Amino acid sequence: MATPHIIDLTGKVAVVTGGSRGLGRAMVLGFAGAGADVVIASRKLDACETLAQEVRALGRRALPLALHVGDWDALEPFVDAVYAEFGRIDVFVNNAGMSPVAPSSVETTEALFDKVIDVNLKGPFRLTALVGSRMAQAGSGSIINVSSVGALRPSPWVAPYAAAKAGLNAMSAALSQEWSRAGVRVNVLSPGPFLTDVSALWAADEKLKARVSLGRFGEPEEVVSTALYLATATFTNGTNVVVDGGPTMFEPTS
């Protein structure tokens, strides 16, 4: 009987942007639980430091860093700081994002549109380029770009966000080919409705819940198994894994 495969990230370094809360926090703890040392990045350093203490309690190293993904000039120094501390990156998760809602499309300002593009598309592109090229020099690595089912089934009130995430999907498909022969994989993880600290506006929406075939919203911890899979699945590249509980076109009867 074959021995079951157990994911072991001992000796690996995982970086998660937007890592101090929500799905990012769950992935940080999931990677650490699998044995990885982790870098926790978000705009709020104090929140990163608090989570870093939890990681250290698991016996892993943790590096909390402040980062605004929409600030292009801050991205290369951030990557340099990670390599200076650990000397490597094995798993990089572009999870930081934002999805502000304007009253209508015509009332969406240029400043809001640009901010959404900067954080959800431009920053992840630059980070993927910086990290992917250095992973290629090392001969291996996994980049996971966190998108959204909103890019696949967009709603009009989040058009800029959906467009940015659709761009992230296309960018990931393109860059998955750039360093693939050097052992670097680029994949997309597309979450659906998860119960996080930013879901208060729709968490009580029974109509939205009814559109999920499992009949409920996801818990943050439920994204971890997919993240661990993409981190270690050495023959998976250029794919988009949807984690949304399954869509349904009808009202479930039970």
> Catalytic residue among 92, 125, 161, 194, which?
161
Half-sphere exposure of 177 (CA within 13 A, CB side): 4
DSSP secondary structure of 153-186: S--GGGHHHHHHHHHHHHHHHHHTTTSGGGTEEE
From residue 221, alpha-carbon distances to 5, 73, 218 in Å are 20, 33, 8
Collect all residues with Cβ–Cβ distance below 8 Å to 236 and sequence separation of at least 6: 185, 187, 229, 230
The C-alpha atoms of residue 147 and residue 154 are separated, in whole angstroms, by: 12
> Is 229 marked active-site?
no
Question: Among 249, 187, 163, 162, which Cα is nearest to 213's?
Answer: 249
Known catalytic residues are 161
